[in-house]
Chains A and B, each alone.
Chain A
Amino acid sequence: MSAVIGISFGNTSSSIAVATQDGKVDVIANPDGDRAIPSVLSYVGADEYHGAQAKAQLIRNPKNTIINFRDLIGKNFDDADVSGSKYGAPAVKLDDGKIGYQITRDNGNIETVTVAEATKRHMLQMKVAAEDYIGKKVEGVVITVPTDFHAHQREELTKIVNDAGLKVLQMINEPSAALLAHLSAEESRLTEDKLYVVADFGGVRSDAAVIAARGGVFTILATAHKHGLGGDLLDDALAEYFAKEFEKKKKTNPRTNARSLAKLKAESITVKKTLSNVQTSTCSIDSLAEGFDFHTTINRLRYELTARLVLSDMTSFIELVVTKAGLENLDIDEVLLVGGTSHTPKLASNVSFVFPESTVIVSPALDSKALNPEELVCRGAALQASMVESFDEEEIKESLQPVVVNTQHLSKSIGIKDAEGNFTPILVAETAYPIKKSIEVTNGSSTSVVIDLYEGHRTVKETVIEAEKYSDDEEDDYSDEEPEVKKEIVYVPGTLLAQLPIKDLKPNSKLEVIVNITHDGTLHVSGRELKQGSVAVKGEIQA
C-alpha cells in the first residue's frame, strides 16, 4: 500500500497533508512536532539539519544555513532577487549562471549546494517525515506553487521532486488549493457562485488572487504579487523596537553584531506569534550583546503600533488585486486570508475595515471555526491528490491540455426579467462553458407568459441610512453628520437576447427555465412546466 500527499512549499515553511477515506484532511507533523516545517537546511560538518533545527542554526552558523531558496528554482543568478539569503548562506553565481551556496562541510571542505540540490534534500526530508507519520510509503504528491511561477520553474521543480522519489501527480496554484480546502469544509459552499479574494501573507512575499467560483469551477481573474512584503518585515519592526529598548537600558547597540541581530530576530518571531494568541508576551534573550541579558514584556497594542506601516501595506495590497480585476471591494463576497502571517489579528481587522459589511473576511482572528491559514494550501493539495489518485497519468495529462483548461467564459450574466422587471440571473458572468443550468419560476396568475432572456447589467444601489437621532444634548452638534450610505451591487436587465413564449398554463404552475451553452458557444434556452409529460418550448442563439 502506498499513499498520496499534498505538499505546500514556501520560501519560509512547508507543510504536508494527507486526505483520509472520509474526506477529512490531516496535516502532518514532522519528527520535531512541527506542522509548519521551516524550509531550511543547515550543515555542521557531516551533519545535515532540517526544519526548525536548521532554522535555529541561523544564530550560530548562518553561513552554512540555506534559507529562502524556493523562489530561486529555475532562475539564473543574474535575473533573480537573492536578497532573501541575506541572513543565511549567501547565494552565489555558479559557472552555469545558476544559483548555489558554498557550504563548509567536515574538515573544512567546501561543498557547492545548488538551489536544485537544496530543494531535493528538503523534499527528501519531507518525504521521510510523511512516511514516518503515515506509516506507509508515499509515492504521489500534489505540490503547490505561486501563480507567478513560470512554466520553466514549474518544469524544473517537477523534475527535482520526482528526483527526490516523490512522483508529482499534479502541480497546482497556491490560491486555488487554499480556496478548494476552504470550500470543501462544507459541501454546499463549493457550488455557490461567488467572487473570492485569496490573500496569502507569508514570510518574504505576499500574493493575492481574485477567483470566480462558478458551479465549483474556479477561474483566476487577477493576481498580484509583492516580493519582500511579509512576516519578515513584522519581525524586523519588532526587533528594532526591542533593540531601541535594549540600547536605552544598557547603552549598548545590539545591531552592530550579526549574532545579536540573529538572536533578536529569532526572539521577535516567537513574540510575534505569541501576540497573535494572547495580549501580552515576554521577550527574553540571554546575553544579547556584550554579555547583557535582555528581558522585557510587550503588549499587542504596542506591537500593532510598531508594525502599523507593514500591516497597512498588506491591506492596500489586497485592495490592489481587486482593482486589477476591474472590480470594487463591493463585488467581493469573501476574502480568504491565507499564510502564516494571516494569524495576525490586526491584519484581519484592518481588512474587514476596508471591505463592506457584506464581504466575509475568513480568518481565525474573526471566526474561531476558520481553518488554520497556514495549512489551507497543503490541505487543498492533499484533497486534490486524493482526487487524482485514481486516474492514470495519461488521463490527468489529457485533462490538463490547454484546449481543455483554457475555456470560454461568459463576460456578462445571463438571466431573465421577472414580472416586476427585476433581473434574475441563471448564469453569472465568468461562468465557464459548456454549462447547463436551470431555475424554477412560476407563471403567477397569467395563463401565457414569456421568458425574456437578458444580459444583466451591473449597477450600484445606494441606500441612505438615516443617522440615529440622539436625545443626548452633547450629541446634538453631531446630529447632521454625514448620513451613512449603504452600497450594494444590483443587476438589472441590460441587453435583451431572446424571447420565448410559454402558453396555456394553469395559474401558479411550477415552471423551469433551462439555459445550456454548448462547447461551440451555441446558447440553448428552453422552458417547460414541471410536470409529467410536459412539452418544452425551445430556442437557440448561435455564437
Chain B
Amino acid sequence: MTATLPQLPSGIDSFKVVSKYSEPVRRPVEPVGRYFLAHASRIMRGHTWSEYEKLEAERNVKQVELDNDDDIGDEEQDEELLEHDPREWKTADLYAVLGLSKLRYRATEDQVRRAHRKLVLKHHPDKKSASGGLDQDGFFKIIQKAFEVMMDPVKRRQYDSVDTNADVVPPPAKSKYDFFEAWGPVFASEARFSKKQPVPLLGTLESSKEEVDAFYAFWGKFDSWKTFEFKDEDVPDDTANRDHKRYIERKNVSNRKKLKQEDNKRIIDLVERAYSEDPRIKLFKDAAKKEKERKKWEREAGSRKAAEEAAAKKAAEEEAAKKAAEEAASSKVNAKKAKEAAKAAKKKNKRAIRGSAKEADYFGDAGKSADIEADIDTIIEKLDDVQLGSVAGKVNGANADSVKQVISETASELIGAGKLEKSYLKYF
C-alpha cells in the first residue's frame, strides 16, 4: 500500500531542516554475502582515508565481544605535559606522553600500540578541529615522536637507558628504614640493565652467606647495556659547516662516554652503600668472630677437658665393674635355686613313675614286681629331665594298660636311641 503524503501546510515554501538525526553508532558489518561486497565497494569507491579516519574506524567501534584495554588503564596527561614544547620533545616523559607511566619499560609492544591508538583518537588535529578545538597539534607531535621511539627496539633501549623516572631511588642516608624493603626494589630495578641475566636479587635476612657473597660479587662486577645516545645533541644536517658537524659528533661521543662512566660509578656507589648497611654482613662478621673465640677457648681449655674426660671415663669403668660383679652374684643365687627346683622336680617325677607300676598292681604280674621295679629304675636313670616330665605326665592317672604301654614305649625309644641295652631289662 502506498502512503499518501500530507497536504502542504501554509508557511513552508522550500526545504527546511528542523533537526539533525540521532548520533549514529559505528559497528562492524559482517563481511559476508554479495550485499556486503556491494557495500564495501560503495565505501571504497574513490576513497582514501586519513590516518585518523582509519584509527577511528578501528577504535571507536561498538564491539559486541569484549575488547579490553584494562591493562593499560586510562591515564590522563597533565597540563604541563600537554603544553610541552614539541621542539623539546626529548625532555618530555615519553611514557607519560603515551599514558604508560606505570608500565614504562614493562609495556609490551602491543600495549604501546593500543595506548597510541587511544591517544591519536583523542589528540589528532583532525579530531580537534572537528570538535571546534584550537588547531594546536604540538602535543600530537610529541605523541608521534614517543610512538616512534617506543616502536623501534634500538631507540627504545636508548630511551630506557635514560628513563630515570623508572629508577627506584635508594633510601636517604641515615634515615630509618627496613633494609630489604628499601633496597630490594632498587636492585630489582637496576637488574634490567644487566647484560648477564638472570641477576641475583637481594634476598632476605635468612639468605645464606654463600648467597649474599654471590650477590655482592655479581654487583661488584655489574655490566650494564645502558647507552646514552638519547642525550646526544642534534647533529646539524647542513653540509655547509662540516667542521662544526664533526665537532658536535665528537662532543656527543665523549659525552656518552662520560655519562656511561658516571652511571658505572653510580652503581658502584650504590653497591658499596648497600654493603655497608646490609645487616647480614654485620651478622656474618659477628658469627665469624664468635666462631674464632670459640675455637680459641677450645684450644686453651683443651688439656683440662682431656683430664675431665679421663676422670669421667674412670668413674664410668668403675661403675660398670661394680655392676657386673653384682649381676654375677645374683645370677649364681638364681642358678642354684633353679637347680634345686629341677632336682626336686626330678625326684617327684621319678617317684611318680615308680609309683605308677605299683598303683597299676604291677599290671597283674605282682609276682614279677621286683623285676618291674628294677627295670623302671634302670629306665628312669636313662631319662633326661624333659623326658622324665613327659613320661610322668603320661602315667599320671592312667590305667594299667596305658602305664605299661607308656613305659614299654619309653624303653624301646631309649633302646632305639642307643641309650639303653635291651638285655638290661627283664620285664619290659
> In the complex, given contacts A218-B30, A440-B2, what are 10 additional A-B residue pairs having Cβ atoms less than 8 angstroms apart?
A148-B65, A216-B33, A216-B35, A219-B27, A405-B29, A410-B21, A430-B27, A432-B29, A450-B5, A450-B7
Given contacts A173-B30, A405-B29, A424-B3, contact A498 B44 (CB under 8 A): no
Interface positions, chain B 27-75, Cβ under 8 Å from A, are 27-44, 47, 49, 53-54, 57-58, 61, 64-65
Kindly state whether residue B20 has any CB partner on chain A within 8 Å.
Answer: yes
**Docked complex Cα distance between A538 and B15 (Å):** 7
**7 pairs of residues in contact across A and B, judged by CB atoms under 8 Å:** A402-B54, A404-B43, A407-B26, A444-B5, A448-B8, A449-B6, A519-B43
Q: Which residue of B lies closest to A449 (CB)?
A: B5
Q: Which listed residue (B4, B20, B33) contacts A387, Cβ 8 A?
A: B33
A190 touches B35 (CB 8 A): yes
Q: What residues on B are CB-neighbors of A503 within 8 Å? A: 8
Contact with B along A201-218 (1 / 0, CB 8 A): 000000001010001111
Measured between C-beta atoms, what is the minimum distance from A174 to chain B in Å?
A: 11
Kindly state whether residue B131 has any CB partner on chain A within 8 Å.
Answer: no
B5 touches A502 (CB 8 A): yes
Kindly state whether residue B239 has any CB partner on chain A within 8 Å.
Answer: no
Q: What residues on B are CB-neighbors of A542 within 8 Å? A: 20
Q: Which residue of A lies closest to B6 (CB)?
A: A419
Kindly state whether residue A147 has any CB partner on chain B within 8 Å.
Answer: yes
Q: Which residue of A lies closest to B40 (CB)?
A: A399
Q: What residues on B are CB-neighbors of A409 within 8 Å? A: 24-27
**Docked complex Cα distance between A433 and B26 (Å):** 10
**Docked complex Cα distance between A297 and B47 (Å):** 67
Given contacts A172-B30, A180-B32, contact A411 B6 (CB under 8 A): no
Measured between C-beta atoms, what is the minimum distance from B50 to chain A in Å?
A: 10
Kindly state whether residue A17 has any CB partner on chain B within 8 Å.
Answer: no
A434 touches B43 (CB 8 A): yes
**Docked complex Cα distance between A411 and B24 (Å):** 5
Q: Which residue of B lies closest to A324 (CB)?
A: B64
Given contacts A221-B64, A403-B54, A442-B2, contact A541 B29 (CB under 8 A): no
Q: What residues on B are CB-neighbors of A218 within 8 Å? A: 29-30, 32-33, 36
Contact with B along A473-508 (1 / 0, CB 8 A): 000000000000000000000011111111100000
Q: What residues on A are CB-neighbors of B15 within 8 Å? A: 498-501, 537-539
Q: What residues on A are CB-neighbors of B29 within 8 Å? A: 217-219, 405-407, 432
Kindly state whether residue A441 has any CB partner on chain B within 8 Å.
Answer: yes
B28 touches A442 (CB 8 A): no
Q: Which residue of B lies closest to A496 (CB)?
A: B18
Q: What residues on A are CB-neighbors of B47 within 8 Å? A: 519
Q: What residues on B are CB-neighbors of A222 within 8 Å? A: 64
Q: Which residue of B lies closest to A402 (CB)?
A: B58
Kindly state whether residue A132 has any CB partner on chain B within 8 Å.
Answer: no
Q: Which listed residue (A380, A419, A434, A497) contacts B4, Cβ 8 A?
A: A419
Q: What residues on B are CB-neighbors of A497 within 8 Å? A: 17-21
Q: What residues on A are CB-neighbors of B4 within 8 Å? A: 418-420, 441-444
Contact with B along A440-458 (1 / 0, CB 8 A): 1111101011111001000
Q: What residues on B are CB-neighbors of A172 within 8 Å? A: 30-32
Return the 10 tightest CB-CB contacts between A and B, nearest first: A216-B35, A539-B15, A449-B5, A448-B8, A399-B40, A418-B3, A218-B30, A176-B30, A403-B57, A444-B4
Kindly state whether residue A344 has any CB partner on chain B within 8 Å.
Answer: no
Measured between C-beta atoms, what is the minimum distance from A325 to chain B in Å?
A: 9
Kindly state whether residue A408 has any CB partner on chain B within 8 Å.
Answer: yes
**Docked complex Cα distance between A434 and B42 (Å):** 7
Given contacts A416-B3, A439-B3, A499-B12, contact A539 B26 (CB under 8 A): no
B64 touches A147 (CB 8 A): yes
Range for the number of chain B residues in contact with chain A? 35 or more
Q: What residues on A are CB-neighbors of B175 within 8 Å? A: none
Given contacts A441-B2, A497-B19, contact A406 B28 (CB under 8 A): yes
A511 touches B5 (CB 8 A): yes
Kindly state whether residue B13 has any CB partner on chain A within 8 Å.
Answer: yes
Given contacts A217-B36, A380-B32, A407-B26, contact A498 B54 (CB under 8 A): no
**Docked complex Cα distance between A433 and B31 (Å):** 15
Kindly state whether residue B14 has any CB partner on chain A within 8 Å.
Answer: yes
A220 touches B28 (CB 8 A): yes
Kindly state whether residue A309 has any CB partner on chain B within 8 Å.
Answer: no
Measured between C-beta atoms, what is the minimum distance from B263 to chain A in Å?
A: 36
Interface positions, chain A 413-429, Cβ under 8 Å from B, are 414, 416-420, 422, 424
Q: Which among B3, B5, B33 has the highest number of chain A CB atoms within 10 Å? A: B5
Kindly state whether residue B9 has any CB partner on chain A within 8 Å.
Answer: yes
Measured between C-beta atoms, what is the minimum distance from A433 to chain B in Å?
A: 8
B44 touches A404 (CB 8 A): yes
Q: Which residue of B lies closest to A494 (CB)?
A: B22
**Docked complex Cα distance between A422 and B3 (Å):** 9
Q: Which listed residue (A209, A402, A443, A495) contacts B5, Cβ 8 A?
A: A443
Q: What residues on B are CB-neighbors of A1 within 8 Å? A: none
Kindly state whether residue A270 has any CB partner on chain B within 8 Å.
Answer: no
Kindly state whether residue B176 has any CB partner on chain A within 8 Å.
Answer: no
Q: Which listed residue (A219, A223, A417, A455) contacts B6, Cβ 8 A?
A: A417
Measured between C-beta atoms, what is the minimum distance from B65 to chain A in Å?
A: 5
Kindly state whether residue B300 has any CB partner on chain A within 8 Å.
Answer: no
Kindly state whether residue A191 has any CB partner on chain B within 8 Å.
Answer: yes
Measured between C-beta atoms, what is the minimum distance from A396 to chain B in Å?
A: 9
B33 touches A411 (CB 8 A): no
Q: Which residue of B lies closest to A221 (CB)?
A: B64
**Docked complex Cα distance between A56 and B40 (Å):** 46
Given contacts A441-B4, A450-B7, A519-B43, contact A495 B19 (CB under 8 A): yes
B19 touches A217 (CB 8 A): no
Interface positions, chain A 185-205, Cβ under 8 Å from B, are 190-191
**Docked complex Cα distance between A217 and B12 (Å):** 37
Q: Which residue of B lies closest to A171 (CB)?
A: B31
Measured between C-beta atoms, what is the minimum distance from A445 to chain B in Å?
A: 9
B12 touches A411 (CB 8 A): no
Kindly state whether residue A521 has any CB partner on chain B within 8 Å.
Answer: yes
**Docked complex Cα distance between A36 and B282 (Å):** 75
Q: What residues on A are CB-neighbors of B7 within 8 Å? A: 419, 446, 448-450
Measured between C-beta atoms, what is the minimum distance from A503 to chain B in Å?
A: 7
Q: What residues on B are CB-neighbors of A412 within 8 Å? A: 21-22
B20 touches A501 (CB 8 A): no
**Docked complex Cα distance between A497 and B327 (Å):** 124
Q: Which residue of B lies closest to A518 (CB)?
A: B42
Kindly state whether residue B23 has any CB partner on chain A within 8 Å.
Answer: yes
Kindly state whether residue B16 has any CB partner on chain A within 8 Å.
Answer: yes
Given contacts A541-B17, A543-B20, contact A450 B8 (CB under 8 A): yes
Q: What residues on A are CB-neighbors of B34 within 8 Å? A: 216, 387
Q: What residues on A are CB-neighbors of B18 within 8 Å? A: 496-499
A407 touches B39 (CB 8 A): yes
B27 touches A406 (CB 8 A): yes
**Docked complex Cα distance between A147 and B63 (Å):** 11
Measured between C-beta atoms, what is the minimum distance from A178 to chain B in Å?
A: 10
Q: What residues on B are CB-neighbors of A452 within 8 Å? A: 6
Q: Which residue of A lies closest to B13 (CB)?
A: A501
A432 touches B6 (CB 8 A): no
**Docked complex Cα distance between A496 and B239 (Å):** 66
A219 touches B33 (CB 8 A): no
Kindly state whether residue A177 has any CB partner on chain B within 8 Å.
Answer: yes
Measured between C-beta atoms, what is the minimum distance from B270 to chain A in Å?
A: 36
**Docked complex Cα distance between A220 and B27 (Å):** 8
Given contacts A411-B23, A412-B21, A495-B19, contact A220 B6 (CB under 8 A): no
Q: What residues on A are CB-neighbors of B33 within 8 Å? A: 180, 184, 190, 216-218, 383-384, 387
B31 touches A405 (CB 8 A): yes
A211 touches B30 (CB 8 A): yes
Kindly state whether residue A523 has any CB partner on chain B within 8 Å.
Answer: yes
**Docked complex Cα distance between A501 and B12 (Å):** 7
Kindly state whether residue A464 has any CB partner on chain B within 8 Å.
Answer: no
Q: Which among B33, B38, B54 has the highest number of chain A CB atoms within 10 Å? A: B33
Q: What residues on A are CB-neighbors of B25 within 8 Å? A: 408-409, 411
Kindly state whether residue A357 has any CB partner on chain B within 8 Å.
Answer: no
Given contacts A216-B35, A399-B44, A403-B53, contact A410 B16 (CB under 8 A): no
